[in-house]
Structure 1
């Protein structure tokens, strides 16, 4: 039976069935038409997706906003804005008053021309020459206007020249040769004439002064009950862990395990630091076990952190959670802003205030920054601690990378020694007070004496014996070389069997060879009074003298031992020291705390102290006014 085949048009036809495989015919036109309709239907969807994409102008605008927000901090932008705003105001006022030449117009900072660098130089000269401000003002003006000219006025490039083809000035006005030369001159003047302020490391001795002040009644008047434990915990933690400021302000309680105990029962806290400067991997955690240190309360991080945590929990009324910040922000009233970390500038402000009021830097040329704790902690453990750390331990604890240059790290640790502000010009003098800065790795007298030390001591004793014998022989012709010389008993012990004649008393080293007074009848004389800079100097000269400075006889004994005519040239100095010491002994009861209350900040300022004491004596009616003679 013939097969029935349906044509492509839907009609049936009959015929023999082909033995060859059937070939698929072209898709019907209708089907093709329907396919085309489907393609056309997809286009609107593609157009909708395209409409969701940002335009080029919006992308550029977003990039500009991100740059403005994150390239410079809000503090820097605010400072720049103040410089530019103040400069424009000054230019308008001075041009209106006719103080500037006609070549500088009031819009020189808005319309970029050859007048712009002249106006900037005149503004800088007004600040630094007329108002006598420092180089920091010139530096701030240059940075602010450089940013303003580049960002607002479109002045690109590190040059300044006139393009004759387009008749327009190109580049940034701060690179104009006249202003650039003047700016460099101000910088050179600053470097050669100003007194540098060194950034100092905070060492345990400094922390002790600060801690004692915070515990004093004076600190209670200035700092709240919250600010004091907050500051103690912050500085001891920074000193102990050697943290950078940003590593500590973001620390949370989930990073601390408190009140743990070692295998031998020693209590300690465990701190976990992740994002140190050399580590950006959140899987690498560095843990620090910090034990209690009651012997050094000024650096006892364990105790101060525990006290700070208890204080915060009392204020909050609940236990602190893991996401609570260890050092949250403090309001201007001293209250805690829970949930908000403190900022670098906020702690800097508190640090400056505490340092200033504690007088820890009195008499020193330097300052403390937020980095002082990291420097001080590292130097203390490497140089001054009872158990000093190796360089390898220092690198690990401080979070320095394993490939850190050893020379760079050593300079970081030893910079205090390299820049020791008092210097070592008198290090060879026998009367120099030896301290930790001049002995190897800070060793002191508690170190056992070596064989070399004993040999040196023996040579010194023999040399002094020979010197005394020679001095006695020179000053007295009758003295024989064989005459035994009696030395102080605490220096050399001479066996009695070697003494054949009564010993003669040698002259002291200060006696001149041509002195007519025989050594056996040596009488002390009033000497020049050394320079008196502090109250401590005055007290020492009055009670004990200063043999190392030539003052052998204490000033309190001068009136009994010497005639007034013998120390006429020193009478004024003697009188000044006498009434200062009397004020301290009598009216301050010999107590330094009472003295500070009556004469605050004058312990190291002797001249100002004398004026203040004279005024106090005048109020008490203890001074007599000189009668005027006409």
Structure 2
């Protein structure tokens, strides 16, 4: 029986590892080292970081070479000028005025960044830092980016097999031998410190992203709900024939589209604490709207959907640490009708429905972005291109200003406000019993186990410290100090004392007194406005008072006598002119028992008896000014028999990639005559004119039609002749269309475009 070691050895020989070893055995040492160095170079940093470092390094090389060339030109000009003076060599003894070697440019200074570091390489780095951050006035972030670029360049200069340039900088002045990283030299470090101090001295008004609080979300939601049209009011269309549908109320529909778009974006970002690019990168495939409801242990059932967030910042680092699996980071979003301002479940569902049924008029594909680039006025969207931070910032600013929130430049709402606000709300400002621990907050925000402490401090602890250690209200009669417990929770948990009861009743008395004073002022204003009107307007009311002296009218019923309550205070009876009558309380109706109709007033049945007595109403004389009675019929909304939503899909022109401009004309021709199920199911040549008129794309359609017909009809699909006559095709379809139009005008096939006054160009 073979031993375990033999079995293990056999398994190793027949496994995948042995196959890799046999394949790698044919590679020599130089090739293996080259592959290893290439792997480190490509994957030690992200692609964007490598590109940024390479850009700064090339700028430094260019700066040093240009500076050296300028200095050489100046030195040559100085020597030429001195030679023209013709002075004898022994005229002036200038031995005492020899130039300091430290102020002279080293020879071969233009090669400071070529190959291994040289004794003057740290000087070149420091001078480049000064050029960028002092002369060009760049911020300290640029200085640290340049420093990191140089540090990375020299650490990987000789590949993984040599650590000569990874330590501290050492230079032997006698022999000129250098070692270590020049970016770690004293010259570079002093320059970085000086630039940092320079920026710290020029401190203007602090500008930082303001956190979107739960109360601010409520204000913006209330404003949106008050101004946003309902679906029944605006999601109606009329059929114009040939499958073309036109909205009955386009302005209302555009307003509703922007409201739903913003509400879905803001509530989702507030719920899962995403940055702008993370939210905009979400596609239909990242959502699971068919999740079964959650059955809780107490028997409650809650609706939900799931979001798979795969585009978190520092995603690569979390994959390396093994904190996240390859499947992503899942968040379950539950329905919260008790919190409508932050109910992401409801708002995302509403936006997806509107996006699919009204804008695209087709089911969403897995590759469609949930928050695409969109034109609200035309109600057109490009589901293949996500929105960006610039567009989102405009919407946030517009909604914040319209909601009446302070949004100054020094402290404004940015696209990052929902992430900060959501994190602070769950940690500090949520109701008692609903606040989260730091462990849950770290997981929910996507922060790693070893996340820098300043990140948590910036998001949470700074705000908490400001809240608990803020003593600006120390002189307040009521002690509101929050430094005795976490967020001052002891104030909400302490027992109700006699002093609290006394303060509570005082507060109630002040509120009642204020409300009564406001009511009195309103009554006085009403009386003064009634006295300024004509006396002739009160004749119908006087007739009603004398005809029914013992009754008060309802909308259509008998009049009853108003008696003073026996327990009420003996207020003096108001004068006849002191009866306030609001316009909204007047009801004009003809009498059912008289041939000549008369009119009477309907008083509210809940008015206090001693404030208005029947005797006072009967005593009203024709000279008492009362309001003129007007009757307005109720507005009748016409019934619209059109369908709520058009049954057909909205047709939009397929997007043309800008990656290869010289091939765009071929894409246009292919879209014109070939059906493509995923891109263009119906060829453009078979489109009904109403389709591109509906989406306001008539001009774009005309451009593609002109190019396709020029190639197919006039050039009979001759690629060589077409490309020779129109070299503008290499720049894209817009220059190509302009060239075709100019050629048609030259040949008399088209006329120049008329000016606004009707004259030809």
Q: TM-score, normalised by structure 2?
A: 0.42
Larger RCO (CA under 8 A, 6+ residues apart): 2
